[in-house]
Amino acid sequence: MAKGKRTYVGFYSEETGNLVHVTNINKKNFGPGEKLSLRKYNKITKKHEVLKMKEIKKG
């Protein structure tokens, strides 16, 4: 069976290290070693933070 083109990634807070947001991305859009960072709201700290991408396992 073919391997899917999309992979699940988690976005971790730089300040607390907690997992804040989970989504899936298309692997073709990112080169090797390329990481995405987002600015999203963290419910724990109750403020907007920069989140770093890290690949996680599905399921």
Among 35, 13, 9, residue whose Cα is nearest residue 23: 9
Q: Which residues pair with 54 in a beta bridge?
A: 10
Whole-model pTM: value is: 0.77
What is the pLDDT confidence band of residue 59, given thresholds at 50, 70 and 90?
low
The number of angstroms, rounded, from the C-alpha of 36 to the middle of its chain's C-alpha atoms is 7
Mean pLDDT for the chain? 89
Tell me the per-residue pLDDT of 34-49, one tens digit each, with 9 for 90 and over: 888 999 999 999 999 9
Phi-psi category of residue 50: left, alpha or beta, with phi > 0 → left and psi -120 to 50 → alpha: beta
| pLDDT of 29 over the 90 cut | no
Is residue 25 predicted with pLDDT exceeding 70?
Answer: yes
Residues recorded for the chain: 59
Residue 12 has pLDDT above 90, yes or no: yes
